[in-house]
Structure 1
Amino acid sequence: MHSFAEVEREAITAVFRINNSFPTPLSAAVNHETDTSNGTRYISISTVWSQVEHTRATRLSFSQSWTLQCDRKSVLQCLPPSPCTHTNRELLNSYSPSGTYQAVISQASGRQYLEVWSSSGLQTSLDLTALNVHGAVYEDGNCPYACLAWTASERRLLYVAEKKRPAKAEAEPPSSPPPAFSSSARASPGEAFDDKNVYVEDWGEGLTGRSSSVLCVADLDKGDVTVLKNVPLHTSPAQALWTPDGEGVIYVGWFEDPFRLGLKFCSNRRSGLYHLDLQGHLENLTDWSITGQSVSCPRLSPDGRWLVYLKGEVFGPHHQCLSLQQYDWQTKKTSVLLDVVKRPKPGEFAGIYEALPSRCWSADSQRIIFSSARGNYKDLFVLDIISKRVTRLSDTSEFGCWKLLLVHNDLLVVSCSAPNCPPRLRVGFLPPAGGEAGISWVTLNDPSLNCELEWRAPELSPAPQEENVQFSGLWIGVLLVKRVVRDRSKLPLVVFIHGGPHSQFCAEWIPSVAALASLGYAVLMVNYRGSTGFGQDSILSLTGNIGCQDVKDVQRAVLYALQDDVTLDPQRVVVMGGSHGGFLACHLVGQYPDFYKACAARNPVINAATLVGTSDIVDWRYSSIGLKYSFGQLPTSEALSLMLERSPIIHAEQIRAPVLLMLGAKDRRVSPHQGLELYRALKSRHSPVRLLWFVEDGHSLGSVETQADCFINIVLWFQQALKLK
């Protein structure tokens, strides 16, 4: 017979698995299009999805295809989808411009292959490991490097891989002394000394082992792969695409000099935009004189004339509002299409905060379609490059989050979700300019949710005494998710705080939030000032004010929710968050020790002064307290004192709520010793604390098994503190 604790754990696990098992669409492509004599078109869409399989504790990827019957303006009907096909060995895939071929970079038994498939079967297979001209191919969807691009002729493919390192010298030492150190040589680590113990820099958290990249061209007729030469010294090429004539490439080059900082989730790293032809001639498309620029996401228009890309500032907030730049391929001139939005008007476009999809242009090369944060939402927008007018295409009455996956000849493929609605795939045609609001959407899948959840997303202003004098009049975003309450019962409230801090909770499907709500908790998510989607002023307002402004914003939102919603129990409030969200959660239980009944923190920043020398984004440790950063920065007693003053460790003596800490031993962004510092401080004071240590996990604690374990332990921790059954 099971004990009560075992049954309770099993019940929590079951609820989490249900909510965490809905597939998520990752990408889409049109692989076939047929016109008929009566004007009807048949368009075949291939999609790639990710789904958690809990029995094996793994994420599975699969593909599924739909055939759409269309006229020139709308989708008439959708034919039944194909069966799902397992694609877990695929690292990258790309359909050729005509849809005749599909290129796949796959991995099996430790080897990587480039395969080209057609309707007749396998056409080409290259063993990239055996060719041995480069290291591992960059494939991660979150990696700011990966690409797999076809030429218009469909005979060559472009991708990015790790630079091949020279073989280590055997036995005998060199007869001549090693060359002197040179800051200008782009030698691979180990070339100078052939020593396996030489330290190899990489790009930090989530990009371990990715150090120096190369551009690779696979020639399908010759059956070989060439690494392009003349890439500038001290840059790592990424995000590459072919020029309109197919005789050169356009790419982003991330600067490696003087040393690498963490790149993942950071849009403020110095980079340039380059054009390299196949004869080795190099052209810089961005201004050499501007050293403080970061560029990303180059996208060519279908007619080959316009190249757009995103541009941001170097250092400062690691994620910011970005401008959209336009480069004229004919005149070689650059202009600003969309500038940084400092202070959006309520309900209007709030700026660009995320990557452009690989296919984002309308068929006539006159409009750009993209998704971006807007307050508590993620919306779909279209920009007319002539009038520079931005129009919202999404309707937030049903879905709070719209993510653009693909634009193909004005057919839009989007993923839509809401806190009470798992992701749905929708398609529709972009109307002519001026009529964009009239899109007729067709939903391709319809996942069902058993638990009846409701949500709302108000915005509120800070208390008058908590206004930022330099940036007054900003807003705080709030998302409240809970079960529909039809009696007089009171729900315990979980305050959930996002990390970043420059990121956003949007009104999308979040499995852990839906699971908490299904278990009877109300979940309050707070977009404090500094979150994305509220304009650049909001982001800048937080620099120099961490541990103060953001803490007060969260507490303001919690008090507002408790006063506004009679179904919430003010005596049963708990708090959770990760990274900067964990930083704030620990601040809250320290600054308001009688208010919160329990805390759960994932890889939290506890003492910014001790973190400054161990984080892969050391620049943010200075920017966060309002100091400018440079590569030669050395800590001063004044800076360290200010970092300590803004850290939750100074409130450890006041913490009375039970604290659950979840730490990844391989975290390179926030060292796990941060959590250990709080753990020891609480243990020495006999304050209730528990620490979960995940040996193989990094900052995100993102493995399937770890995510489930964390969720179960959080719920049990909260239930014990709140005396719930």
Structure 2
Amino acid sequence: MNSVADFPSRVYRELTEIPSFKSAQFQGSNVIRTTTSTQDHALKTNRKTVKTFVLSTDTVLVSGSPDGSEVVASLVSPSGKYLAVLRETNDSADKKRYVEVWADDRLHAAENVTDKHGTFYTDEFTSSISFSPSETKLVYVAEGKEPDNDTADPLSKFRFIPDLGETYGGKKRPTIFLCDWSREAGRAVLPLTFAEVNSPSVLLAHPVFASDDKIIALGYEYSEDGRLLGIVYCRNRAASVWQLTLPNDSTGKEVLACAGLKLTSTGLACRSPRILRYGGQTKLVFASNSAGGPHDTCSKVDILDLDKLEPRTLVETVHDPKPDAFPGLYTASFPACPFLQSPSKESFLVVSSVWRSRTTVLLISLANGNVIDLTPATEEQWSWTVLCTDGKSRVVCARSALTRPPELVLGEVDANAQASWKVLYTPSVSDDLRRRLDDLAISIHAIPGRYPVETIVVRSKTQKSRPCITVPHGGPHSGITTAFAPWFSSFAAEGYTVALPNYTGGSGFGEKYTRSLLGQCGRLDIDDCMESVRYLIKQGISEEDKQYAFGGSHGGFIVAHLIGQFPDTFKAAAIRSPVINLGETSTTDIPDWYFVEIGVEFRPDSIMTPDVYKDAFAMSPILYVDRVRTPLQVYLGLKDQRVSLDQGKKYYHVLKAKGKEVEMFCFKDDGHALDSVEGARAVYYAAKTLFARVQGD
């Protein structure tokens, strides 16, 4: 039994304090600047650190310093001369915000922007920082100011404006701001908007300079009913690519009214616009999915010559790949600096992408779209993340595995499109943790008769008789890979076998299998996961009387189904932010999800009719609540905008009323992911305590 002194466990604490690499940039030909994140359990916060790697022929010099909590984002200019910093202080009752540009150790330009806008945006879906080619201007994204009281409309401040949903904390107005510190501009900081009188109903975000007077940006589109469906974790949100032309003169202006040109067609969900300047040409490369439908699907890659405005698709959607073939592109976003140039002058895009149960490094030709897997085959089952390139032949990646914490790796791509890799950094761990991790092995098992389902297993090499935790992923159109995850690694290092099923509908297996789950939720995904449990028992990997389950979001939906449909299989279970009833859409920021997953087309005027609700209820775990006998814990983040809190609460109260063994834990500062330092460690401790107690009974 655990005690209060074990909260959190020493193993969990050490694993979560290992830094993870978030970004990297070349700052000169042989200097790499990285940003890492680590959990600080004493202060209950995530801390950022800047590590600088100086490369020489035989050695790598590493220096690090905390990127103070005031720095919310930073970027090195393409020449390496400048460093842009977005800073937010909290020295007084009100937050102060600054935009700073540093040249070496000298503050080159600084602007107090507290009165110009609200908080800075730093997420991957809306934010970016970009220098102009002349390095005299900077664009970034921040929350626009609320309009002043309109004397002509005394109700203006009460009119409804939709927010961005989960994780955005009520933000509503992402706005592009331009900071111009050239002599002519007098260091102006101004918001950008459309010059057109009948401007499009879009939210401009994710800007990048194409030239000194042109900016490429994403435009997120409102639906016909005035709604802005939740953006985070959803790569199906209608978003076009726009070209904004800055006005010739900004003197005396409070807003920069830009001529807007839409560069992409309707019906796309675009993201990650990146600019390549080479040989006097300027090209735009971006990823896109179909708008609507499943929240994650196979992506396309398009390229557009900005001089000719002629688009061309480089990588198409892959529908039904052969088992060992390229399954299509599955990536959240491109790195900020994603391009390479070969000695033969051919240009490439370098990205990381989910390929079945791993993430790999892909080299994509900008000439013909040919895709080459640069990931070396090793026994460790590494998963890779591309962080940046030097624009020539080198690429910086983070690689990790469930048994190996994140390392920083430098790749050199030769004229034959082959990569050689050098490890720049490996984190140090205690001798005890090293022994525990060395005793673990990763294996990937294809589940017979359930193609393309496969399950990642992490277990001891020496201790075969261990309790097994099955952890279905959320989404359901995401996936789980072999990448380092402290939660899974901690359970494996502390005496459990961990099974991670990639059931039908997840990413990395082809578009056909993503869409196969639609209309089959509550059946196909449940059967896949249960067959995984049976297969591992049959193979002697786990034991019939030592089965446990944990899942969050749609993973919680699956676990609730499993303990209801198969009440004698699992000794204990835990669910985080679970979907319990597919017919309950009251407070969610993604109502479309519920309709799409049950196989019903979603439109802006869709409502949950009795017939639709009947079908949704029949696919939901609440249908089996009377059969649940498994001891259960429920975890809810009280700021969750994705799944109604009533779902988990009603499930808890029904089970409680029926005399079942059930506990519920609520976290006031957490949202759907329950990923705060305090929340995550409490969930781990609670689940571990439950499983250990039941196993000992």
Same fold (TM over 0.5): yes
Could you say which residue in structure 2 is the equivalent of 1:38? none
Q: Distance in 1 between matches of 2:635 and 2:132?
A: 47
2:248 is aligned with 1:282: no
Contact 1:453/1:517 (8 A) holds in 2: no
Equivalent residue for 2:107, pick from 118, 122, 128? 122
Contact 2:173/2:203 (8 A) holds in 1: yes
Equivalent residue for 2:465, pick from 487, 490, 507? 490
Counterpart secondary structure, 2:526: helix
2:562 is aligned with 1:588: yes
Equivalent residue for 1:255, pick from 221, 227, 235? 221
Equivalent residue for 1:62, pick from 37, 49, 53? 49
Task: Trace 1:625-704 onto structure 2 (pairs within 5 A).
Answer: 625-704=598-677
Q: Distance in 2 between matches of 1:702 and 1:60?
A: 14
Contact 1:458/1:478 (8 A) holds in 2: yes
Number of aligned residue pairs: 662
Equivalent residue for 1:428, pick from 397, 411, 424? 411
Contact 1:578/1:603 (8 A) holds in 2: yes
Question: Displacement of 1:388 after TM fit?
Answer: 2.3
Could you say which residue in structure 1 is the equivalent of 2:179? 218
Contact 2:583/2:608 (8 A) holds in 1: no
Counterpart secondary structure, 2:193: coil
Q: Which amino acid aligns with 1:247?
A: D
- Residue deviations 1:431-474 (CA, integer Å, cap 9, x gap): 12xx22342333333434421343334342554xxx6xxxxxx4
Contact 2:385/2:399 (8 A) holds in 1: yes
Task: Trace 1:540-579 onto structure 2 (pairs within 5 A).
Answer: 540-566=515-541, 568-579=542-553
Stretches of structure 1 lacking an aligned partner (at least 5 in a row): 34-42, 70-75, 179-191, 468-473
Q: Which amino acid aligns with 1:573?
A: Q
Q: Distance in 2 between matches of 1:55 and 1:378?
A: 33
Contact 1:661/1:692 (8 A) holds in 2: yes
Contact 2:589/2:642 (8 A) holds in 1: yes
Could you say which residue in structure 2 is the equivalent of 1:296? 271
Stretches of structure 2 lacking an aligned partner (at least 5 in a row): 248-257
Counterpart secondary structure, 1:708: helix
- Residue deviations 1:37-68 (CA, integer Å, cap 9, x gap): xxxxxx11111100111112111101011111
Counterpart secondary structure, 2:642: coil
Could you say which residue in structure 2 is the equivalent of 1:18? 14
Could you say which residue in structure 2 is the equivalent of 1:614? 587
Question: Displacement of 1:90 after TM fit?
Answer: 1.1
- Residue deviations 1:498-517 (CA, integer Å, cap 9, x gap): 10111111011110111101
Task: Trace 1:206-605 onto structure 2 (pairs within 5 A).
Answer: 206-221=167-182, 222-230=186-194, 232-243=199-210, 245-257=211-223, 258-279=226-247, 280-287=258-265, 290=266, 292-303=267-278, 304-354=281-331, 355-363=333-341, 364=345, 366-397=347-378, 398-408=380-390, 409-432=392-415, 435-448=416-429, 449-450=433-434, 451=436, 452-461=438-447, 463=449, 474-485=451-462, 490-566=465-541, 568-605=542-579
Q: Which amino acid aligns with 2:441?
A: W
TM-score, with normalisation over the residues of structure 1? 0.88
Q: Rate the CA distance shift 1:198–1:479 in 2: closer, same or farther, 3 A.
A: same
Counterpart secondary structure, 2:3: helix
Contact 1:60/1:88 (8 A) holds in 2: yes
Contact 2:53/2:61 (8 A) holds in 1: yes
Q: Distance in 1 between matches of 2:201 and 2:169?
A: 18
Q: Distance in 1 between matches of 2:174 and 2:420?
A: 41
Counterpart secondary structure, 2:454: strand
Q: Which amino acid aligns with 1:361?
A: F
Q: In percent, how many aligned pairs have the same letter?
A: 27
Which is worse superposed, 316-325 or 360-369? 360-369
Q: Distance in 2 between matches of 1:194 and 1:685?
A: 50
Question: Displacement of 1:399 after TM fit?
Answer: 4.3
Q: Distance in 1 between matches of 2:41 and 2:613?
A: 44
Question: Displacement of 1:365 after TM fit?
Answer: 5.8
Q: Which amino acid aligns with 2:678?
A: E
Q: Rate the CA distance shift 1:621–1:117 in 2: closer, same or farther, 3 A.
A: same
- Residue deviations 1:281-309 (CA, integer Å, cap 9, x gap): 2211112xx3x211111111131432111
Contact 2:335/2:351 (8 A) holds in 1: yes
- Residue deviations 1:251-272 (CA, integer Å, cap 9, x gap): 1100124211101011111111
Contact 2:346/2:367 (8 A) holds in 1: no
Counterpart secondary structure, 1:312: strand
2:683 is aligned with 1:710: yes
Task: Trace 1:24-35 onto structure 2 (pairs within 5 A).
Answer: 24-33=20-29
Counterpart secondary structure, 1:571: coil
Question: Displacement of 1:88 after TM fit?
Answer: 2.3
Q: Distance in 2 between matches of 1:453 and 1:335?
A: 49
Contact 1:459/1:475 (8 A) holds in 2: no
Question: Displacement of 1:79 after TM fit?
Answer: 2.8
- Residue deviations 1:546-603 (CA, integer Å, cap 9, x gap): 010000000111111112235x222110100000000000000000001111110001
Contact 1:114/1:126 (8 A) holds in 2: yes
Contact 2:141/2:176 (8 A) holds in 1: yes
Q: Distance in 2 between matches of 1:501 and 1:329?
A: 37
CA RMSD of aligned residues (A): 1.8
